[in-house]
Amino acid sequence: MPRPAVVFASGQLLTQEVWAPQAAALSRDYDLRFPDHSRDETIAGIADRLLDEAPDRFHLVAHAMGGFTAFEVLRQAPERVISLVLIATLAPNDGPAQTERRQGYIRLVESGRFAEVVEERIPILVHPARREDTPLLDVVRRMAAETGAETFLRQQRAIMTRADSRPSLGAIACSTLLIRGAQDGITTPAHQDDMLAAIPGSRLEVIEDCGHLPTLERPATTNRILADWLTAAG
């Protein structure tokens, strides 16, 4: 019998390595897929590529920007998604302040200061107590370096032009789990509450002592939550 497929939708400046602990824990029981999220300048384009690379039916596990991709996948092909996990993500599009911040990042990168952008983002990516955690930060920096400036610019433009997904949340029919680090520096409890209220039957797991990167900061807890979820979701 073929193994159930799990497709992982990744965030900006992150590579497949962000899922390394989950790949090690789940690869025996599941067919794991890590679609390319580096070549497109729109969320719709990233979603199209994910659907082209994915099997007919799959569980979708999405982190951060990957959540924006997941919402688009569910608008395009909801019948293909068996279950949905949204990690450290949010449904609204950017407001003026977020757009200005992203435009500032773009200006820095275009002036050759990509490394500064990476270092500026690190404090909001991890739990405050782990901002001197060299092994963790080495992984974050390595993923950013592998992503590179040009891909980061494409990802920023995709994020800036994404749709507001709040109007379509009520149409999500598959089982949905939200996961958030309690000290996430990017998403808020209000973001999670909005999705919980709008997505029928959804539920939330909060991981304590964790920032925006639960898959790396709290891998054992994340692995347990995902394994239990996928088993129950079939």
Residue 220 lies in a domain: yes
Calculate the average pLDDT of the chain. 97
Tell me which DSSP letter residue 203 carries: E
How many Å apart are CA 104 and CA 38, to the nearest integer?
20
Report the CATH number that the domain containing residue 23 is assigned in CATH: 3.40.50.1820
- What is the pLDDT at residue 200? 98
- What is the pLDDT at residue 134? 97
CB neighbours of 135 closer than 8 A, spacing ≥ 6?
none
Let me know: does 45 contact 162? Beta carbons within 8 Å.
Answer: no
At residue 22's C-alpha, the angle toward residues 172 and 216, to 5°, is 100
Residue 123 lies in a domain: no
Q: Which DSSP string corresponds to 79-145? A: GGEEEEEEES--SS---HHHHHHHHHHHHHHHTT-HHHHHHHHHHHHS-GGGTT-HHHHHHHHHHHH
Share of the chain above pLDDT 90, in %: 98
Amino acid at 129: A
Q: How confident is the model at residue 147 (pLDDT cuts 50, 70, 90)?
A: very high
Residue 168 lies in a domain: yes
- What is the pLDDT at residue 211? 98
Let me know: does 180 contact 152? Beta carbons within 8 Å.
Answer: no
Residue 85 lies in a domain: yes
**Cα–Cα nearest to 60, from 44, 52, 49, 71:** 71
184-214 residues labelled b (16+ CB within 10 A) or e (exposed): bbbbeeebbebbeebbeebeebebeebbbbb
Q: In total, how many domains does the chain have?
A: 1
Residue 206 lies in a domain: yes
- What is the pLDDT at residue 102? 93
Tell me which DSSP letter residue 166 carries: G
pLDDT digits (tens, 9 = 90+) for 45-99: 999 999 999 999 999 999 999 999 999 999 999 999 999 999 999 999 999 999 9
Residue 24 lies in a domain: yes
How many Å apart are CA 107 and CA 117, to the nearest integer?
10
Let me know: does 126 contact 133? Beta carbons within 8 Å.
Answer: yes
Mean pLDDT over 128-146 rounds to: 97
Give the domain extent around 67: 5-94+159-233
How many Å apart are CA 208 and CA 188, to the nearest integer?
14
Counting Cα atoms < 13 Å in the Cβ hemisphere of 9 gives 32
- What is the pLDDT at residue 127? 97
Residue 200 lies in a domain: yes
- What is the pLDDT at residue 3? 94
Residue 121 lies in a domain: no
- What is the pLDDT at residue 2? 86
Please say if the pLDDT value at position 234 is more than 90. no
Joined together, the tokens standing for residue 216 give 């790396």
pLDDT digits (tens, 9 = 90+) for 157-174: 999 999 999 999 999 999
For residue 155, the Cα-to-chain-centroid distance in whole angstroms is 12
Please say if the pLDDT value at position 1 is more than 90. no
- What is the pLDDT at residue 165? 98
Mean pLDDT over 126-131 rounds to: 96
